[in-house]
A and B are shown apart, each in its own frame.
Chain A
Amino acid sequence: MNLGALRRGLGNSLVQAFLVVIGLIWLTPLAGLLLSSLRSAEDTARGGWWTTFTSPGQLSFDNYAALLENAGITKAFWNTVLISVPTTVLVVVIAALAGYAFAWLDFPGRDTLFLLVVALLVVPVQIGLLPVAKLFGQLGLFGTIPGVVLFHVSYGLPFAVFLLRNYFAEIPKEMLEAARMDGGTEWRIFTRLVLPVGRPAIASLAIFQFLWVWNDMLVALLFADSASQPLTVELQSQIRQFGSNIDVLAPGAFLSLIVPVVVFFAFQRHFVQGVMAGSVK
């Protein structure tokens, strides 16, 4: 082995060591949450979660058992599902329809309207809160799950339409013309050709949208009432007594993050693509 190879080898082990340290730093806060969620509030008040390494007897699933008995938390969990699933479906359907029209159908003002959609990509949700709250108040939607869903759908649409329109525009023209020649209606072409071809983009979009809404707190904080509030809002309402509520907050936070993390590991590729594409928001 010559000197250069030796130096490279040494450099490489330094790089490995550095990355291991970074990895541990990234893992530690998460491990802290998980271990804290498995300890009683009294144990947490007495010492850090790392004491479980030396006295693992503190660990139990009691907090999680209590969480399942906690009506507020279970209700909020279902509300989260009832908000994020319909939102995802609606965004995908509405955006796919519009994306196809923007890509392949002819109607007056098409290009101008699409530029407007592109411009709306970065509009912050904050600016919609107050006016939409007033509007929903008049329509009786304020404080309801449909209200929360409608708001999310609207602010998810610019990105969704943008993504799907661009993906659909890549479909070869000959394919669509052949289908039209065969006498297919636009609806048939849309359901039988465009949707199947667009599956990868739709999957990325659906995953991104699902996570966005599942993890939302701000919108639900305003538009949901106590009966329709999702897990994030239910948990944040207990933050004020952080120390004494840690036996609810830690397992609750873990419950709230385990669904997206499972989705993440199950659909890594689509997930990364969706988040990458969606980051323009």
Chain B
Amino acid sequence: MTATATKVAVPPAAEPAVRQRRARRRGRIVALLFVFPALLLLGALVVYPVLFSVGRSLFDASGTRFVGGENYTEMFRDPATLKAVRNTAIWVVVAPALLTGLGLILAVLVEKVRWATAFKLLLFMPMAVSFLAAGIIFRLAYDEDPDKGVLNAAVVGVHDAFRGSSSYPTARARDGQGLSAGADGSYRTSTTVSPGDTVSLGLVGVAPKDLPEGARPARTAAAREAAPGELRGVVYLDFTRGGGGEPGRVDPEESGLPRMTVQAVRDGKTIASTTTAADGSFRFAGLADGTYTVALPGSNFAPPYDGVSWLGPALVTPAIIGAYLWIWTGFAMVLIGAGLSTLPRDTLEAARMDGANEWQVFRRITVPLLAPVLTVVFVTLVINVMKVFDLVYIIAPGPVQEDATVLATQMWLVSFGGGNNQGLGSALGVLLLLLVIPAMVFNVRRFRGSQR
């Protein structure tokens, strides 16, 4: 309407005005052609699905009955879904804070070495690796068998270095051969002995291949006489390969059991303790006269410590968060490092000149100045952590899946993985969306701010 009026009112200017208007209209059509493919796909496959999911979440499993908010209350009633909500909360509380902290520490430290670039590359590289590959990598690393999983191999190694390993979990004494079993898994001599005696303690149940390396035959040591005031003996494997040995006697080929703890006990009190040599021999010197029993404490026979059940129900979520740290620490470090390089060097130097130590510089200057970068890193990680799916899906073994479940995996299970409840599934999807809405608002605000 306005356009027509102008045209009539000012005839001389009509020609260029019309051309201009035509050009403008053509320009608009061209512009719309440019944005059309993007808007079509966004509209049909992103915006429409969001609206559809919101609507679908108000209907029951089959989609025929309107149930209002029931799916949303169900979410906090159904134990499996509640578990997912809780686990996602753990993820959000733990992972971003750990990552930001670790990233900050590494970003500050790496500046002090000359090979900083190589280090950053190494730590950033996992960002290129798929969650699936990372999942397989950590399924391997977390394997419970210390002979397969590197983590348990390390844990068991450290444990045995400090606590010592029992070498004979399978060993036992034959009945009626001079040793009686205690309730705590220990053995002691059935009869008492005195200094000057020599005892032979025969055990069975150790496969020849399980004998420690360097174990030597016990016969010579068993025949050695004890000096006065000395209690001697051997602990040996009372078994001759291929048969022919006599139970209760140290036969020529029978091996000593080295590194066995032996105690001299008197009136229920342990007076002395020693370990056997390569030929299984032991001796207690300087014992007061009297009667003793010789005991082999239960620690000799304890089942071997076989590490931590990383992927068991209790630890599976921390374990998966560990794998997540492996992937994302480089990201946090590089982003924080970029922020670090923009800090005013003069301020830091001035503080050092004034006698501030590195910790004070870090605590009072670096961290406060980096606060905006740290916030961005933290928020980014929170958004990503809330959507974690593949890693949980891959690392948690089948039976533990329900202990490790998070919102994204639960949404998958409920909708497609056998649950087939698309009402509840949609509600979980909407919940995920609601959780990232603060980030959405943050993005939009930040963008509008940058445009002014």
Residue picked from B38, B106, B126, B331, most chain A C-beta under 10 Å: B38
Task: Decide: A124 near B150, CB < 8 A? Known: A115-B448, A271-B128.
Answer: no
A98 to B326, CA, bound (A): 36
Shortest CB-to-CB span from A119 to chain B, Å, is 5
Chain B window 105-143, contacts with chain A (Cβ cutoff 8 Å), 1 for yes, 0 for no: 010011011000001011111111111110111111100
Q: Which of B38, B128, B415, B432 is A157 in contact with, Cβ under 8 Å?
A: B38
A161 at the interface (CB under 8 A from B): yes
Which single residue of chain B is at the shortest CB-CB distance from A263? B128
Interface presence of A276 (CB below 8 A): yes
Residue of A nearest to B384 (CB): A279
Q: For residues 235 through 272 of chain A, which have their beta carbon under 8 Å from a beta carbon of chain B? A: 235-236, 239-240, 242, 246, 249-250, 253-254, 256-257, 260-261, 263-265, 268, 271-272
Judging by beta carbons under 8 Å apart, are A50 and B153 in contact? yes
Q: List 18 A-B contacts (CB under 8 A).
A: A23-B123, A29-B137, A29-B138, A33-B133, A48-B147, A48-B148, A101-B34, A101-B35, A106-B28, A113-B35, A120-B47, A122-B443, A127-B53, A217-B130, A218-B408, A218-B412, A239-B394, A264-B125
The proximity string for B residues 35-64 relative to A, scoring 1 for CB distances below 8 Å and 0 otherwise, is 101110110111111101100100000000
The number of inter-chain residue pairs (CB within 8 angstroms) is 275
Q: How far is the CA of A116 from the CA of B51 in the complex (A)?
A: 14
A275 and B127 contact, CB distance less than 8 A: yes
Q: Which residues of A contact B119 (CB under 8 A)?
A: 19, 23
Question: Does A154 have its Cβ within 8 Å of any Cβ on chain B?
Answer: yes
User: Most chain-B Cβ atoms within 10 A of its Cβ — which of A33, A110, A153, A216?
Assistant: A33
Residue of A nearest to B132 (CB): A232
Q: Please provide the chain B residues from 389 to 430 with a CB less than 8 Å away from any CB of chain A in the complex.
A: 389-390, 393-394, 397-398, 408, 411-412, 415-416, 422, 425-426, 428-430
What are the residues of chain A within 8 A of B430 when measuring CB–CB?
127
Q: Are B31 and A105 in contact (CB under 8 A)?
A: yes
The interface residues of chain A lying within 8 Å CB-to-CB of B249 are none
Q: Known contacts A217-B132, A253-B133; is A32 also within 8 Å of B140 by CB? A: yes
* Residue from A28, A120, A272 having most chain B Cβ neighbours under 10 A: A272
In this complex, the member of A15, A100, A129 whose beta carbon has the largest number of chain B beta carbons within 10 angstroms is A129
Q: Which residues of B contact A150 (CB under 8 A)?
A: 41, 45
Which of A56-64, A130-138, A196-204 interfaces with chain B? A130-138
Q: C-beta contact mask, B323-367 vs A, less than 8 Å → 1, else 0?
A: 000100001001100100000000000000000001000000000
**CA–CA, A102 and B132, complex, Å:** 36
Is A26 among interface residues, defined by CB-CB distance under 8 A? yes
> What residue of chain A has the Cβ atom nearest to residue B417's Cβ?
A221
- Shortest CB distance A3–B (Å): 14
In A49-93, the 8 Å CB interface with B consists of: 49-50
Q: Is the CB of A106 within 8 A of B31?
A: yes
B130 touches A123 (CB 8 A): no
Task: Give the docked Cα–Cα distance between A264 and B112 (Å).
Answer: 25
5 closest cross-chain pairs (CB), A and B: A215-B130, A105-B31, A98-B38, A131-B49, A154-B45
Cα–Cα distance between A196 and B319 once the two chains are bound (Å): 46
Given A97-B34, A215-B133, A253-B136, 14 new contacts (CB under 8 A): A33-B133, A47-B148, A97-B38, A107-B35, A127-B430, A128-B46, A131-B53, A186-B34, A214-B130, A218-B390, A239-B394, A275-B127, A276-B331, A279-B331
Q: B428 — nearest CB in chain A belongs to which residue?
A: A126
Residues in chain A near residue B426, CB distance under 8 A: 130
Chain B's interface size range is 35 or more
On chain A, the residues within 8 Å of B223 by CB distance are: none
What's the nearest-Cβ distance from chain A to residue B231, in Å?
Answer: 41
Query: In the assembled complex, how far is the CB of residue B379 from the closest CB belonging to chain A, in whole angstroms?
Result: 9
Q: Determine the main DSSP class of A at the interface with B.
A: helix
Query: When the two chains form their complex, are residues B128 and A211 in contact, meaning their CB atoms are under 8 A apart?
Result: yes
A108 within 8 A of B: yes
On whether the beta carbons of A118 and B447 are closer than 8 Å, the reply is yes
CA distance A122 to B432 in the complex (A): 10
Interface residue? A16 (CB, 8 A): yes
Stretch at the interface among B75-83, B187-195, B278-286, B433-441: B433-441
Report how far A217 CA is from B131 CA in the complex, Å: 8
A280 lies within 8 A of chain B by Cβ: yes
B387 to chain A, nearest CB (A): 5
Contact of A275 among B38, B42, B139, B331 (CB under 8 A): B331
Residues in A whose Cβ lies below 8 Å from that of B429 = 124, 126-127, 129-130
B149 on the A face (CB < 8 A): yes
Contact A135 B130 (CB under 8 A): no
CB neighbours (8 Å) of A176 from chain B are none
Contact residues, B23-39 vs A (CB, 8 A): 24, 27-28, 30-32, 34-35, 37-39
B274 within 8 A of A: no
Q: Are A118 and B443 CB-contacts (below 8 A) given A22-B106, A126-B408, A217-B130?
A: yes
Report whether A32 and B129 are in contact in the complex, using a CB–CB cutoff of 8 Å: no
Contact in complex: B440, A44 (CB < 8 Å):
no
Choose one: A97, A100, A135, A235; the contact of B132 (CB below 8 Å). Answer: A235
Contacting residues, chain B, for A249 (C-beta < 8 A):
136
Known interface pairs A18-B109, A29-B141, A260-B130. Does A49 touch B150 (Cβ–Cβ under 8 Å)? yes
Contact between chains at A118 and B444 (CB < 8 Å): yes
B45 touches A19 (CB 8 A): no
- Are A123 and B46 CB-contacts (below 8 A) given A18-B109, A272-B124, A275-B127? yes
**Interface contact B41-A161, CB-CB below 8 Å:** no
